[in-house]
A and B are shown apart, each in its own frame.
Chain A
Amino acid sequence: KNEVEQSPQNLTAQEGEFITINCSYSVGISALHWLQQHPGGGIVSLFMLSSGKKKHGRLIATINIQEKHSSLHITASHPRDSAVYICAVYFMDSNYQLIWGAGTKLIIKP
């Protein structure tokens, strides 16, 4: 069964802390998305990756294909990073369809 699990569900941290959000999936994937959803609801695609590591500003995404695991890191976190972060994957047998994690609600306190 194609499943995506994220942890933690909720995360509250102080400004400046290093943040890690984890995503595990059940079977082989073609690619994995990390997305950000702000309280207003709009979704922004942060990264799409199928191997290795990607970095954009203070955000870093890594994926370990053998371990079926990906992490999203935020360095020097800021209150404006407060959002829901969602991991979504293309499983190899799901042709186009993203399978979504439940999301991680992140709150960064000033």
Chain B
Amino acid sequence: GAVVSQHPSWVICKSGTSVKIECRSLDFQATTMFWYRQFPKQSLMLMATSNEGSKATYEQGVEKDKFLINHASLTLSTLTVTSAHPEDSSFYICSALEGASSYNEQFFGPGTRLTVL
């Protein structure tokens, strides 16, 4: 199947700093990518839908100025957590939609564990 990578796989940062997470589709072009976060023992929660060349669509309750998403190419989307705080500590997972159909298969990255001290 298609491969999606994320970098870094884990990051520890001080409160107030910004952290950038990259999501890449390695062997296919993804016009749409999704960003999820997962708190311990909870299900994934969709944060935003990222479309190449346009602004991301954020889910209700997700601060777009805090979680900056850039999808500048068909193989790369980035999530920047700005001015991170301990409550932002979470597991962040991206997925990429293969193809242009409404329900083509999503392929998931391995996730990035963010710890804010």
With known contacts A96-B32, A100-B44, A41–B107 Cβ distance under 8 A: no
> How many Å lie between the Cα of A37 and that of B49 in the bound state?
21
**A86 CB → nearest B CB, Å:** 7
Which residue on B lies nearest to A50, using beta carbons? Answer: B103
Contacting pair B102 A30 (CB below 8 A): yes
Indicate whether A25 reaches chain B with its CB closer than 8 angstroms.
no
B residues within 8 A CB of A44?
A: 108
**B2 CB → nearest A CB, Å:** 9
- Binary interface encoding of chain B residues 85-117 relative to chain A, with 1 for a CB under 8 A from any of its CBs, else 0: 000000101010100001101111111010000
**A4 CB → nearest B CB, Å:** 10
Q: How large is the interface on B (under 10, 10 to 19, 20 to 34, 35 or more residues)?
A: 20 to 34
- Binary interface encoding of chain A residues 27-60 relative to chain B, with 1 for a CB under 8 A from any of its CBs, else 0: 0001101010000111111001010000000000
Contacting pair B106 A33 (CB below 8 A): yes
- Binary interface encoding of chain B residues 6-50 relative to chain A, with 1 for a CB under 8 A from any of its CBs, else 0: 000000000000000000000000001010001000011010010
> How many Å lie between the Cα of A12 and that of B50 in the bound state?
38
Contacting pair A96 B91 (CB below 8 A): no
> How many Å lie between the Cα of A43 and that of B106 in the bound state?
11
Point out which of A41, A48, A90, A95 has the most chain B C-beta atoms below 10 A from its C-beta.
A41
**B59 CB → nearest A CB, Å:** 9
Contact partner, A48, options B38, B105, B109, Cβ 8 Å: B105
Indicate whether A98 reaches chain B with its CB closer than 8 angstroms.
yes
B residues within 8 A CB of A33?
A: 105-106
- Binary interface encoding of chain A residues 68-99 relative to chain B, with 1 for a CB under 8 A from any of its CBs, else 0: 00000000000000000010001000011110
> How many Å lie between the Cα of A43 and that of B36 in the bound state?
12
> How many Å lie between the Cα of A72 and that of B87 in the bound state?
35
12 residue pairs from A and B, CB less than 8 Å apart: A30-B102, A30-B103, A41-B91, A41-B110, A41-B113, A42-B109, A43-B93, A48-B105, A90-B102, A96-B32, A98-B46, A101-B43
User: Which 10 A-B residue pairings sit nearest by Cβ, starting from the closest?
Assistant: A43-B108, A42-B110, A90-B103, A41-B111, A30-B103, A48-B105, A31-B103, A100-B43, A41-B91, A102-B43
